[in-house]
Structure 1
Amino acid sequence: MTPGAEPGSGFTWPEALCAPVRELPDHARLLVALSGGLDSTLLLHLAVHCHGHSGAVRAVHINHQLQPNASETESFCRDLCGRLGVPLVVEKVTVRSGENSAGGIEEAARKARYSALEAMVQRRDLVLMAHHGDDQAETVLFRMLRGSGVAGLAGMPFSRDLGPATLVRPLLGFERVELERWARSAGLSWVDDPSNTDQRFDRNFLRHTVLPALRERWPGLNRRLRHTADACAESEALNQKLAALQWQAVGGEQDRLPVEGLKTLSLAEQKNLIRWWVRERGFPAPTISSWQQVMQDLIFAREDREPEFRSDGFSLRRFQGDLYLVPDHSQLPDVPVTLEPGPGLNFGEWFLKLEPAVTPERPLPPIRIFTRQGGERVRFRSDGPSRSLKKWLQEIAVPPWERARLPLVFAGSGDAAELVAIGDLWCSEQYSEGAHAAGWRLVVERECD
């Protein structure tokens, strides 16, 4: 622990440091992400100094349980918040052991940290993080070495959405040496993370070996890299605006893009539009080594082909004249599920419920939910002929991957069981609208992706 004390009565926080913390957007709560290190400890003091009178300041400590001093750091955060009169939430997270390696632990810990923060925030919360100019320089250089495009080279934004809340980085305009000078002048204490000196980690190698040499050769390196990040951010903003315009021009919908419209665009425009679409749906932009080959496969495949490109959490699939963005879904039950009156149940991405429409005049038959097994037939009218479910789904152009996940609802048991609903595509008049025949209304809803 770096020795020190709380700011004495003779210390005055400089206005240049206070201004970005004081001039925050309107909020209900300020949640300071407190690691116990220099930067976040300083940020918590600034938040209390600028907003402590409002009672809105809170602190959140994410304990990754990775370092030998994790318990000591947590205790330090509790003591600090106790002295400052700031409520503290401590969240312990577990980094998956498969990612716990020199190459992947940083990213795994980052994901766990942001997931924990997102799970606890509410609307109109501001989450303050203490990233500074040196962190921004590391991020830009690190992403450049990974081959990132302009979106990555734009670095960390001053603010962005975090679930229903907003994440803000008010210290991005300052270098670490400035923050440390002010922290020492104020007599602050903090805990040093021993992993920060381990150069097996890429960021530490950049921080301790590469960036010092670059700064010696090119003074003002942080400023130069910040200019690069700002230029890339402007370029990315223009790319997104272009993609939004072209999305409308080609007739894009939430989950699909017309292939004929994509064909009118250049490869660069196709790449830009796909990346924008994926990010708009909440997924990370795909990393593709050969965009030309992927777009060739997806767009110019024969009509009888169904090409697919898989990425992190989703896949891009071609069906007939459209390109679909298909989220990965959970495994469906491998045996039929019984549906009874009451609060309803989830079946994959579907929600089903039975509710009374009128006072039932006869007992409710057994209601089961399952997926296609082959050979199912459906009778759309009680006095009409039955039809092959497979052929009907083909006729109405339901994509193959959706056919396999449609909840089929059967009423009755054994050979007498009757298909009464097919997802949200069709429901028997016995269980829809007035539902006078059965006395029960079947509700089938597809959850928004």
Structure 2
Amino acid sequence: MTRAGNSGSASDWPEALCAPVRNLPPCSRLRIALSGGMDSVLLLHVAARLHAGSGRLSAVHVNHQLQPNADQTERFCQQVCGELGVPLDIRRVVVNSRQGAGSDTGGIEESARHARYQVFEDLLEPEELLLMAHHGDDQAETVLFRLLRGTGVAGLGGMPESRPLGKGRLYRPLLGFGRSELRSWATEMGIHWVEDPSNTDERFDRNFLRQSIMPRLKARWPSLVSRIGHTARSCREGDELAGALARIRFQQCANEREALSVERLGQLGFAEQKNLIRWWIIRYHHVPPSISDWSRVMADLVNAPEDREPELRGEGYTVRRYRGYLYLVADRPPLPSDNAPLIPGRELVWGEWRLQLVPAGNSEMPAPAIRISTRVGGERLRPDPKGPSKSLKNWLQEKGIPPWERARLPLLLEAENGNQEVIGAGDLWLAGQYCGEAPASGWRIVVERECN
């Protein structure tokens, strides 16, 4: 590891390398993801030459604390940024090994990536741009790696040039260059960097591809990187077209609650059904499940008899069917214990619900004793003050409330003559004496629910 030198003068750097770093999307602040490796150090130098005078350039180094030279690499990044006059933000993370699809090393690699991107996501503010130094070889390795693991068109699209990240955006200006081309420029400009010792460890799947597979493929097909890059771009275009079609079908199949009509879904071909369901899941910021037999899943969701309750489970959500519609239901944490008191002037957070008991106007009437509970069975309510009472179970069915929502519906109970009277059911109904402009009780109940 040696000094990195400086960013050079305006005439030193090849225009082909400078152009994509000069012509960036508009941003309020420019951050460089600096690992200390060749590609990120080169990107830092180019960005420093082009943008250092703007006062909006900085770098961020994530120290995973996994390699023996991790602290040395951190000091190197400090040195380079100090010489270039670029502020550096250092973030240390603790990486926990998670069991991956392959080996423990694969789990560590994925955990490190997750920790790194979490730092970037937390760091970025609105209108900020994070530059990452991924290049054409990285793209080719990513596409090949995903192909070997099994993926669809979206996965074969590889890494996008730009995408949202946290409150800002991620941008990769070097995807059009190969590793050898960047290394040649870095060497020519006298730039030095730190080699990650783990890059040669072929227990990591990507390193195995990089060290043992890619060189043989390149020897046979010299234009391999550009060919795979072209394939990735074509797959991304195909994925964009599939997304555009899914949006059209969604508008045709969804109701006001964004649930999908089973009847209309059944009128689509299998490929469009699968495309719409996957797009719909992603729309809610979830990951579609890995399923080997989508045809069976779609047949169950669409064609199962009415008395069946087919489901599609994913990580953090379940697709459920109810009364001719499919609903995407996010997993929720357990509700608090029943009979939580509603204390005047204090907001009660109850699962995804927020409830308050507030005085109405200048009323000096004593606060009622109201508690929150879930259904236990047998409850009745009087939605029309002049009408008869109704079974809560039947009333919820009449309202078309799905079973999973009924189970999490907060019931507001008021003690009266030794009994618990239902005076409210979530945001569906409140007794007249606790709502309106001038509630008769002198108190108003406010009920709000977070969206999925």
With the length of structure 1 as denominator, give the TM-score of the two structures: 0.93
**After alignment, is 336-345 or 182-191 more displaced?**
336-345
- Is 1:20–1:170's contact at 8 Å kept on the other side of the alignment? yes
Distance 1:158 1:250 in 2: 32
Distance 1:29 1:8 in 2: 23
Mapped to 2, the partners of 1:241 and 1:162 lie a distance apart of: 22
C-alpha deviation, 1:139, in angstroms: 0.8
Aligned equivalents of 2:155, 2:88: Cα separation in 1? 33
**Residue in 2 aligned with 1:34?**
34
Pair 1:126-2:129 in alignment: yes
Q: CA deviation at 1:342?
A: 3.9
- Spell out structure 1 runs of 4+ moving beyond 6 A: none
Confirm or deny that 1:178 pairs with 2:181: yes
Structure 2 counterpart of 1:60, which letter? Answer: V
Aligned pair 1:288/2:291, yes or no? yes
Deviations 1:63-98 (A, max 9, x none): 223223222222322333333332322233333344
The 1:114/1:435 distance shift into structure 2, 3 A limit, reads farther
Q: Does 1:398 pair with 2:401? A: yes
* Structure 1 position 93 matched with structure 2 position 86: no
1:278 — aligned with what? 281
CA distance in 2, matches of 1:169, 1:158: 5
Do the aligned residues in 1 keep the contact of 2:380 with 2:422 (CA within 8 Å)? Answer: yes
Residue 131 of structure 2 aligns with an amino acid whose one-letter code is L
CA distance in 1 between partners of 2:291 and 2:439 (Å): 55
d(CA) in 2 for partners of 1:98, 1:162: 23
Offset, 1:382: 4.8
Q: How do 1:232-247 residues align onto structure 2 when only pairs under 5 Å count?
A: 232-247=235-250
Shift of the 41–344 alpha-carbon distance from structure 1 to 2, 3 Å rule, reads farther
In structure 2, do the counterparts of structure 1 residues 357 and 49 end up closer, same or farther at CA, with 3 Å as the change threshold? farther
Distance apart, 1:207 and its partner CA: 0.6
SS in 2 for 1:270: helix
1:143 aligns with 2:146: yes
Structure 2: distance between partners of 1:220 and 1:398: 58
Q: Does 1:14 align with 2:17?
A: no
Instruction: Tell me which amino acid in the other structure corresponds to 2:389.
Output: S
Aligned residue pairs total 449
Shift of 1:412: 4.2
User: Residues of 2 paired with 1:18 and 1:152: CA distance?
Assistant: 29
Looking at structure 2, the residues matched to 284 and 410 of structure 1 have their Cα atoms a distance apart, in angstroms, of: 39
Letter in 1 for 2:355: L
Q: Deviations over 1:264-314 (max 9, x none)?
A: 011111111111111122112322110011111111111111111111221
Q: Within 2, Cα distance between the matches of 1:67 and 1:419?
A: 61
Unaligned runs of 5+ in 1: none
> Contact 2:6–2:45 at 8 Å: present in 1 too?
no
Contact preservation (8 Å) 1:255, 1:326: no
Residues 365 and 411 in structure 1, CA contact (< 8 A), matched pair in contact too: yes
Unaligned stretches of 5+ residues in structure 2: none
Q: Which amino acid aligns with 2:321?
A: R
Residue type of the alignment partner of 2:402:
P
Residue 102 of structure 1: SS of its match in structure 2? helix
- Report the CA distance shift for 1:252/1:228 in structure 2 as closer, same or farther (over 3 A): farther
Q: Is the 8 A contact 1:409 1:421 kept in 2?
A: yes
Q: Which amino acid aligns with 2:230?
A: H
Following superposition, the deviation at residue 239 of structure 1 comes to: 0.9
Identity %: 56
What is the match of residue 214 of structure 2? 211
Q: Distance in 2 between matches of 1:414 and 1:137?
A: 74
Matched, 1:264 2:267: yes
1:198 and 2:213 correspond? no
| 1:422 corresponding residue in structure 2 | 425
Counting only pairs closer than 5 Å after superposition, residues 409-448 of structure 1 correspond to structure 2 as: 409-412=412-415, 415-448=418-451
Match for residue 327 of structure 1?
Answer: 330
TM-align CA RMSD: 2.2
Provide the residue aligned with 2:56 in structure 1. Answer: 56
CA distance in 1, matches of 2:36, 2:348: 43
Match of 2:372 among 369, 378, 381: 369
> C-alpha deviations, 1:198-227, integer Å up to 9, x for none?
111111111111111100111110011011
Query: Quick one: structure 1 residues 120 and 340, their matched pair in 2 at CA, closer, same or farther if it must change by over 3 Å?
Result: farther
Instruction: Classify the secondary structure of the residue corresponding to 2:447.
Output: strand
Whether the aligned pair in 2 keeps the contact of 1:337 and 1:368 (CA below 8 Å) is yes
* Alpha-carbon separation, structure 1, partners of 2:286 and 2:213: 32
| Distance in 2 (alpha carbons) for counterparts of 1:350 and 1:436 | 22
Compared CA separation, residues 265 and 31, structure 1 to 2 (3 A): same
